[in-house]
Homo-oligomer: A and B are copies of this chain.
Amino acid sequence: MTLLCLCFLWQTALAEVIKSPNGKLTLTFALQADGVPTYHLTYKGRDVIKTSKLGLELKNAPALTSGFTVADSKQRTFDESWQPVWGEVKTIRNHYNELAVTLKQAATDRTVRVRFRVFDDGLGFRYEFPRQPKLDYFTIKEERTQFALAGDHKAFWLPGDYDTQEYSTVTSKLSEVRGKMKAAVTGNASQTTFSPTGVQTPLMLKSQDGLYINIHEAALIDYSCMHLELDDKNFVLESHLTPDAVGDKGLIQTPALSPWRTVIVSDRAGDILESKLVLNLNEPTKFKDTSWIKPVKYVGVWWEMITGKSTWSYTNMDNIKLDSVDYRKVKPNGTHGANTAHVKEYIDFAALHGFDAVLVEGWNIGWEDWFGKHKDYVFDFVTPYPDFNVPELQQYAASKNVKIIMHHETSGSVRNYERHLDSAFQFMNKYGYNAVKTGYVGDIVPLGHHHYDQWLINHYNYVLEKAAEHHIMVNGHEAVRPTGLARTYPNLIGNEAARGTEYEAFGGSNPDHTTILPFTRLIGGPMDYTPGIFQTQISVINPQNKSFVHSTLVRQMALYVTMYSPLQMAADLPENYNKHLDAFQFIKDVAVDWDDTHVLEAEPGDYITIARKAKGKSSWFIGSTCDENGRTSNIKLDFLAPGKKYVATIYADAKDAHYEKNPQAYTIRKLNVTRKTKLAQYCAPGGGYAISVMEATK
């Protein structure tokens, strides 16, 4: 008894407490009796993260998990505002109270610092490894950061996987994860699950008493991507890093920093969507000139290949070697989408409707056997198929003030991509390309590496840096999910790293998919979701394909607002837009960069309604997405400027609309509105609405 009491006193003595600027969050750091560092987070007095252990296990070295004493502890307050190069709001406030605890492990003479930042919207903390003689180079065996939850929360989760996040989100209690895992792991071009209770971040949670909690990471640089391993008896999540080819989870040289581990929390779901915590935990950009970075609205030669109407490849050969095929002499398949004449049609369409750019996939040689072969030399990124005239198209596009977006599919062969990176970017500079969509479909070559291991994380950031040297914007597909790095590298204007619209042509996604993604995947940064599919029955495009988009036409428009991105595609074929030019007007009008954002209503898995003010303009755009049940959305336009009059154009599901049975039934009506206006707007099952609000001209 005496010993226990002493320990308790000792622990209490070493506890450090800081609060969020508004006082609602309380972070407690404490050492347990055996020198185990722990933290504890409350929101309005309710447990968000119960006492949870911190630390790392190392390879061939003593663990950094216990035996610590506090050598030093510092607190400070930080408050600044900064302007993103592009974003949901014009100005972002970065306001937190900070606690930095320096821990000494006497037995090994090693020091680790844990830095906590408590914002009004949540917590970020990271490990810092100062330069020191006894901890110079080390290999992480596993990071042992716990997130002990207060109960069996509802979770919006994806199976933990080292190579893909392209799964449907499962909504279940944490205790149900294990039972639902097997069915959740659907097939993918490259996938490596690791545990029956392993899940990905950003992980969205909702407690039974209504707390919304999001766990993710920020500033993933030179470190392995974190997954979460669930102890489904105690509802404790623990970090699980992505291993490399030999099972190591990170080679570290001090001084070094881990990424931030983030916990966003509120009792209002909309606060999660409005949080800028992840961005704030990233470093400001070092780019001196960012004038070359511009949000992009684009169309592209893409959906026609996704749906099977045309092909990326120029021939139907299989098994080709880039350096031994003379494409001028082989038989074209006649289905090649990226041909000069056809691309010109897209350029014409883009120019006519005011789009910035045209993405062209399948322009370069190598697509005949690009996929799943583990080829090293799969593309060279500079040689077009013979029917794709690079200079002619660039001249044509330039004459119409349209950009062509480059496409670099790597097929996961990263050494090959790095070997060609300089020449590929020089090629882009020469021909006036200013943005590239990268792709990492399939297993990483060399085999053994994973899309999310440290070696690949390093690769993605290398590409960003090299691209920036060439003033090139990057939209990375199948790369790691973003962690707010766009603050540091604002040329990272998009990522995929989730189940995008193409899955609507591969069997479809759940109708509630877009009511969840902003709470999960989008917490780290924008997604190139490629919305805007008006012809939701794929069989109209390709009779062989029986898939359909699990969304009404109108909801496809709403996504331009609800799925924030500075890079937005109108993904459908021009011919489909031409059939609905009245609705298409919204896609033409909608902004891709914003001064302000208000989440009007939100509940993960059910609905999201967001209003955003176009950057530098008086116009607002509202989008709403709902799940398969449909609903009536009640919103107030009180975000509008006082004393001003506006005209709202409301694009709405018709009363008999339905994502499966009647997706294209919509209405368009105009309405004079002010900041006092209230709207009750019906959303069909799998539907939503889109509203443009323009300042009245008279």
Identify which of B131, B136, B375, B447 contacts A253 (C-beta below 8 A).
B375
Is A93 on the interface with B (CB-CB < 8 A)? Answer: no
Is A655 on the interface with B (CB-CB < 8 A)? Answer: no
Identify which of B318, B418, B449 contacts A419 (C-beta below 8 A).
B418
Q: Which residues of B contact A244 (CB under 8 A)?
A: 446-448
Inter-subunit contact A455/B462 (CB<8 Å): no
Residue of B nearest to A445 (CB): B251
8 A Cβ contacts from A220-257 to B: 244-246, 248, 251, 253-254
Is A638 on the interface with B (CB-CB < 8 A)? Answer: no
Expressed in whole angstroms, the minimum distance between the Cβ of A223 and any Cβ of chain B is 13
Identify which of B131, B251, B419 contacts A376 (C-beta below 8 A).
B251
Is A82 on the interface with B (CB-CB < 8 A)? Answer: no
Q: Which residues of B contact A369 (CB under 8 A)?
A: 136
Residue of B nearest to A462 (CB): B419
Inter-subunit contact B447/A131 (CB<8 Å): no
Inter-subunit contact B137/A375 (CB<8 Å): yes
Q: Which residues of B contact A373 (CB under 8 A)?
A: 137, 253
Inter-subunit contact B447/A246 (CB<8 Å): yes
Q: How far is the CA of A418 from the CA of B459 in the complex (A)?
A: 13
Expressed in whole angstroms, the minimum distance between the Cβ of A372 and any Cβ of chain B is 9
Is A319 on the interface with B (CB-CB < 8 A)? Answer: yes
Is A321 on the interface with B (CB-CB < 8 A)? Answer: yes
Is A458 on the interface with B (CB-CB < 8 A)? Answer: yes
A137 and B376 in contact (CB under 8 A), knowing A246-B447, A447-B244, A448-B448?
A: no
Q: How far is the CA of A455 from the CA of B414 in the complex (A)?
A: 12
Q: How far is the CA of A254 from the CA of B374 in the complex (A)?
A: 13
Is A345 on the interface with B (CB-CB < 8 A)? Answer: no
Identify which of B136, B245, B318 contacts A318 (C-beta below 8 A).
B136
Residue of B nearest to A139 (CB): B374
In the complex, per-residue mask of A113-150: 1 if CB is within 8 Å of any chain B CB, else 0: 00000000000000000010100110100000000000
Expressed in whole angstroms, the minimum distance between the Cβ of A381 and any Cβ of chain B is 15
Residue of B nearest to A251 (CB): B374
Q: How far is the CA of A375 from the CA of B252 in the complex (A)?
A: 9
Q: How far is the CA of A449 from the CA of B319 in the complex (A)?
A: 27
Is A415 on the interface with B (CB-CB < 8 A)? Answer: yes
Residue of B nearest to A376 (CB): B458
Q: How far is the CA of A224 from the CA of B241 in the complex (A)?
A: 31
In the complex, per-residue mask of A421-453: 1 if CB is within 8 Å of any chain B CB, else 0: 010000000000000000000000011110000
Residue of B nearest to A254 (CB): B319
Expressed in whole angstroms, the minimum distance between the Cβ of A8 and any Cβ of chain B is 40
Expressed in whole angstroms, the minimum distance between the Cβ of A373 and any Cβ of chain B is 5
Identify which of B137, B418, B448 contacts A319 (C-beta below 8 A).
B137
Q: Which residues of B contact A375 (CB under 8 A)?
A: 137, 251, 253
Q: How far is the CA of A137 from the CA of B375 in the complex (A)?
A: 9
Q: Which residues of B contact A136 (CB under 8 A)?
A: 318-319, 369
Q: Which residues of B contact A251 (CB under 8 A)?
A: 374-376
Q: Which residues of B contact A376 (CB under 8 A)?
A: 251, 458
Q: How far is the CA of A682 from the CA of B321 in the complex (A)?
A: 59
Inter-subunit contact A137/B374 (CB<8 Å): yes
Q: Which residues of B contact A458 (CB under 8 A)?
A: 376
Q: How far is the CA of A373 from the CA of B253 in the complex (A)?
A: 9
Q: Which residues of B contact A137 (CB under 8 A)?
A: 319, 373-375
8 A Cβ contacts from A295-326 to B: 318-319, 321
Residue of B nearest to A321 (CB): B253
Q: Which residues of B contact A415 (CB under 8 A)?
A: 415, 418, 455
8 A Cβ contacts from A576-593 to B: none
A245 and B374 in contact (CB under 8 A), knowing A319-B131, A319-B137, A418-B419?
A: no
Q: Which residues of B contact A448 (CB under 8 A)?
A: 244-246, 448
Inter-subunit contact B321/A447 (CB<8 Å): no
8 A Cβ contacts from A46-71 to B: none
Q: How far is the CA of A251 from the CA of B458 in the complex (A)?
A: 25
Q: How far is the CA of A251 from the CA of B446 in the complex (A)?
A: 10
Residue of B nearest to A455 (CB): B446
8 A Cβ contacts from A395-435 to B: 415, 418-419, 422
Residue of B nearest to A449 (CB): B446
Q: Which residues of B contact A245 (CB under 8 A)?
A: 245-246, 446-449
Inter-subunit contact A319/B253 (CB<8 Å): yes
Expressed in whole angstroms, the minimum distance between the Cβ of A610 and any Cβ of chain B is 41
Most chain B CB inside 10 Å of its own CB: which residue of A139, A321, A373, A447: A447
21 A/B residue pairs, CB under 8 Å, sorted by A: A131-B319, A133-B318, A136-B318, A136-B319, A137-B319, A139-B374, A244-B446, A244-B447, A245-B245, A245-B447, A245-B448, A246-B448, A248-B447, A251-B375, A253-B375, A415-B415, A415-B418, A418-B418, A418-B419, A419-B462, A446-B446
Chain A contact residues, CB within 8 Å of chain B: 131, 133, 136-137, 139, 244-246, 248, 251, 253-254, 318-319, 321, 369, 373-376, 415, 418-419, 422, 446-449, 455, 458, 462
In the A-B complex, list the 4 residue pairs whose CB atoms are closest, starting with the nearest.
A245-B448, A245-B245, A136-B319, A246-B448
